[in-house]
């Protein structure tokens, strides 16, 4: 098998490989045969991905003599719900999925998170494979084993750590992704530069636009770089007892924005993260940790590629206090104290539990000024 790069995730008995390349979906049988065997592969996907990529995936599996049993769910964040989890579990049981079978998640972060969680609880833990089809899922959600669903109280509040057995990231499928979704995923790509790799951020300043415009070599390089970064962090801190929290750069602010908008799609997760990263840089500058010039550099790059680089008053109509209240519902609250990922500059993130509410409120108020 040629034409792909392998990024190992070193997690002892839960170790697995991420394979990144172009055309992997059409060769899915070769890449997954050892895990799927010859029983029908149960493939969970959404309607949009099914229409675009399920035929190629089915053809790839059939080359290795693997039949396919699809479970097709509605697209969108609303599918990460208790109701859809129940429907999915019913469908998996009806398909007679056994503990030793590997369920395939073919789709973006919604399908990956939901399917991974279903696998975690089905028969007390079934195997699953991630075949991420969005940029966001290829660089972030498919790697590291965080799975779960949303509730009315907030995002991802119910879930489990459950590692996939393999990740197959075919950068070719990103061609069918709407530009807005591609950009939302790109926000997570930028995140890796901002949290720990200033040279990667500088590389993105030089190549980000070409990557977004379809340069496959650059896309593959970016996905590999992000997966390497995430695999290294997850390998050292699988359960987020420390360093892994850095991957939440921009997320505390971002989740508050998504919650305020009711996960309505008015703001995609990656767009919320882009704004959240700007606010995290602003907060860090306000607290004296980060040079103001770096805040400008982050805003400029996000704006240049077409991502939101600040709060849009037309969209977010509540005040700073109300956004802060959403933050307090975050999973990262301990003893009532919020954990913030702050920065000492581009590529130098750290976690702080010392941030005072008044500083967060001041940053939000300033950003919300007309
Ligand atoms: P998504 O799964 O909703 O996909 C976005 C849209 O793109 C959907 O409408 C989908 O049908 C469509 N789509 C997917 N692949 C396509 C393709 N190749 N061509 C055309 N359309 C395609 O959203 P997402 O941005 O992939 O993921 C967001 C989710 O990921 C959120 O729920 C977020 O909480 C979660 N997430 C999880 C982690 C984690 O570590 N588990 C990390 C980051 C984000
Ligand atoms: N997306 C954050 C994490 O996987 O930890």
Convert 41-60 into a string of H (helix), E (strand) and C (coil).
EEEEEEHHHHHHHHHHHHHH
Q: What is the pLDDT of residue 335?
A: 67
C-alpha 258/C-alpha 240 separation (Å) is 22
H or E element at residue 166: strand 166-170
Query: Across-strand partners of 8?
Result: 17
**236 annotated active-site:** no
| Domain span including residue 301 | 192-368
Cα 142 to averaged position of ligand 1 atoms, centre (Å) = 10
**80 annotated active-site:** no
Say whether both 331 and 221 belong to one domain.
Answer: yes
2 pLDDT band (50/70/90 cuts)? low
Say whether both 86 and 140 belong to one domain.
Answer: yes
What percent of the chain shows pLDDT beyond 70? 97
Q: Which of the 8 DSSP states describes residue 315?
A: T
pLDDT, tens only, 187-202: 999 999 999 999 999 9
Residue 154 sits in a domain of what CATH number? 3.40.50.1970
Ligand 2 atom at minimal distance to the Cα of residue 144: 4
Of the candidates 53, 230, 297, 299, the residue annotated as catalytic is 230
Say whether both 115 and 242 belong to one domain.
Answer: no
CB 134, CB 108: distance < 8 Å: yes
**271 annotated active-site:** no
Say whether both 170 and 274 belong to one domain.
Answer: no
Q: What is the pLDDT of residue 259?
A: 84
**241 annotated active-site:** no
User: Is the pLDDT at 180 greater than 60, yes or no?
Assistant: yes
Q: What is the pLDDT of residue 15?
A: 98
330 pLDDT band (50/70/90 cuts)? low
Say whether both 363 and 216 belong to one domain.
Answer: yes
Last residue of a domain, one of 144, 176, 208: 176
- Which residues, at least 6 apart from 181, have a Cβ–Cβ distance to it below 8 Å? 108, 134, 135, 136, 268, 270
**244 annotated active-site:** yes
Say whether both 233 and 278 belong to one domain.
Answer: yes
- Which residues, at least 6 apart from 64, have a Cβ–Cβ distance to it below 8 Å? 28, 29, 30, 32, 33
Mean pLDDT for all residues in the chain: 94
Say whether both 167 and 203 belong to one domain.
Answer: no
Residue 182 located in a structural domain: no
Residue 186 located in a structural domain: no
**191 annotated active-site:** no
Q: What is the pLDDT of residue 332?
A: 64
Cα 31 to averaged position of ligand 2 atoms, centre (Å) = 25
pLDDT, tens only, 216-244: 999 999 999 999 999 999 999 999 999 99
Say whether both 92 and 226 belong to one domain.
Answer: no
178 pLDDT band (50/70/90 cuts)? very high
Region 276-288 average pLDDT: 98
- Which residues, at least 6 apart from 254, have a Cβ–Cβ distance to it below 8 Å? 269, 272, 273, 274, 275, 276, 277
pLDDT, tens only, 20-68: 999 999 999 999 999 998 889 999 999 999 999 999 999 999 999 999 9
Residue 234 located in a structural domain: yes
- Highest mean predicted confidence (pLDDT) among 57-61, 253-257, 323-327: 57-61
Ligand 1 atom at minimal distance to the Cα of residue 188: 43
Say whether both 223 and 269 belong to one domain.
Answer: yes
Alpha helices by DSSP H, listed for 124-268, are 135-136, 179-196, 198-212, 216-236, 251-260
Give Dmax (Cα) for the chain: 61
Of the candidates 19, 31, 53, 146, the residue annotated as catalytic is 146
Say whether both 241 and 305 belong to one domain.
Answer: yes
Q: What is the pLDDT of residue 284?
A: 98
Q: What is the pLDDT of residue 152?
A: 81
Burial class (CB in 10 A: 0-12, 13-18, 19+), 129: buried
Residue 185 located in a structural domain: no
pLDDT, tens only, 51-61: 999 999 999 99
Which residue in 329, 187, 316, 315 sits closest to 249, CA to CA?
A: 187
331 pLDDT band (50/70/90 cuts)? low
**155 annotated active-site:** no
Q: What is the pLDDT of residue 334?
A: 67
Of the candidates 188, 238, 260, 271, the residue annotated as catalytic is 188
CA 124 to chain centre: 25
Residue 205 sits in a domain of what CATH number? 1.20.1090.10
Pocket test for ligand 2, best of 138, 140, 142, 239 (most atoms within 8 A of CB): 140
Residue 303 located in a structural domain: yes
Pocket of ligand 2 (CB under 6 A): 140, 144, 146, 240, 244, 247-248
Residue 41 located in a structural domain: yes
Ligand 2 atom at minimal distance to the Cα of residue 188: 1
Q: What is the pLDDT of residue 333?
A: 65
User: Is the pLDDT at 215 greater than 90, yes or no?
Assistant: yes
C-alpha 284/C-alpha 294 separation (Å) is 10
Looking at all shown ligands, the one closest to residue 146's CA atom is: 1
Last residue of a domain, one of 176, 201, 226: 176
Distances (CA, A) of 242 to 10, 107, 294, 306, 341: 17, 29, 25, 32, 11
**358 annotated active-site:** no
155 pLDDT band (50/70/90 cuts)? confident
Last residue of a domain, one of 176, 211, 229: 176
Say whether both 200 and 170 belong to one domain.
Answer: no
Burial class (CB in 10 A: 0-12, 13-18, 19+), 184: buried
- Which residues, at least 6 apart from 123, have a Cβ–Cβ distance to it below 8 Å? 97, 98, 99
Ligand 2 atom at minimal distance to the Cα of residue 247: 2
Distances (CA, A) of 20 to 60, 130, 217, 222, 223: 16, 12, 11, 10, 7
146-151 and 154-161 as β-strands: parallel, antiparallel, unpaired? Answer: antiparallel
Residue 184 located in a structural domain: no
Residue 269 in tokens: 């997760």
The closest residue, in CA terms, to atom 27 on ligand 1 is: 109
Say whether both 9 and 131 belong to one domain.
Answer: yes
The four Cα atoms 184, 214, 347, 303 give a dihedral, to 10 degrees, of: -60
Provide the whole-model pTM: 0.96
> Cβ–Cβ contacts within 10 Å for residue 10, how many?
12
C-alpha 330/C-alpha 155 separation (Å) is 8
Number of domains in the chain: 2
Residue 236 located in a structural domain: yes
Pocket test for ligand 1, best of 84, 128, 269, 271 (most atoms within 8 A of CB): 269
């Amino acid at each position: 098998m040629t034409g792909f790069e392998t990024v190992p995730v070193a997690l002892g008995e839960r170790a697995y490989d991420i394979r990144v390349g172009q055309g992997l979906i059409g060769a899915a049988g070769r890449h997954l045969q050892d895990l799927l065997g010859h029983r029908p592969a149960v493939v969970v996907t959404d309607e949009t991905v099914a229409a675009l990529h399920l035929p190629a995936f089915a053809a790839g599996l059939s080359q290795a003599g693997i039949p396919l049993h699809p479970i097709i769910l509605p697209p969108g964040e609303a599918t990460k719900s208790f109701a859809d989890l129940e429907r999915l579990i019913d469908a998996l049981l009806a398909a007679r999925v056994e503990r030793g079978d590997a369920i395939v998640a073919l789709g973006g972060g919604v399908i990956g998170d939901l399917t991974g969680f279903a696998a975690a609880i089905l028969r007390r833990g079934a195997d699953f494979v991630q075949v991420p089809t969005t940029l966001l899922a290829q660089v972030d959600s498919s790697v590291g084993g965080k799975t779960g669903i949303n509730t009315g109280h907030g995002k991802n509040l119910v879930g489990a750590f459950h590692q996939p057995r393999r990740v197959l990231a075919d950068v070719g499928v990103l061609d069918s992704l709407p530009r807005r979704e591609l950009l939302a995923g790109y926000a997570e790509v930028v995140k890796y530069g901002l949290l720990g790799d200033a040279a990667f951020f500088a590389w993105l300043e030089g190549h980000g636009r070409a990557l977004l415009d379809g340069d496959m070599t650059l896309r593959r390089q970016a996905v590999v770089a992000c997966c390497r970064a995430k695999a290294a962090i997850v390998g050292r801190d699988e359960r987020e007892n420390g360093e892994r929290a850095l991957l939440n750069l921009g997320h505390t602010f971002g989740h508050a924005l998504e919650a305020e908008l009711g996960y309505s799609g008015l703001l995609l997760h990656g767009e919320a993260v882009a704004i959240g990263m700007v606010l995290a840089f602003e907060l860090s500058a306000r607290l004296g940790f980060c040079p103001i010039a770096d805040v400008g550099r982050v805003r400029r790059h996000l704006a240049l590629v077409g991502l939101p680089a600040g709060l849009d008053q037309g969209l977010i109509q509540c005040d700073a206090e109300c956004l802060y209240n959403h933050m307090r519902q975050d999973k990262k609250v301990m003893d009532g104290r919020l954990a913030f990922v702050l920065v000492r500059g581009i590529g130098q993130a750290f976690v702080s539990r010392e941030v005072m509410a008044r500083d967060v409120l001041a940053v939000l108020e300033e950003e919300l000024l007309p």
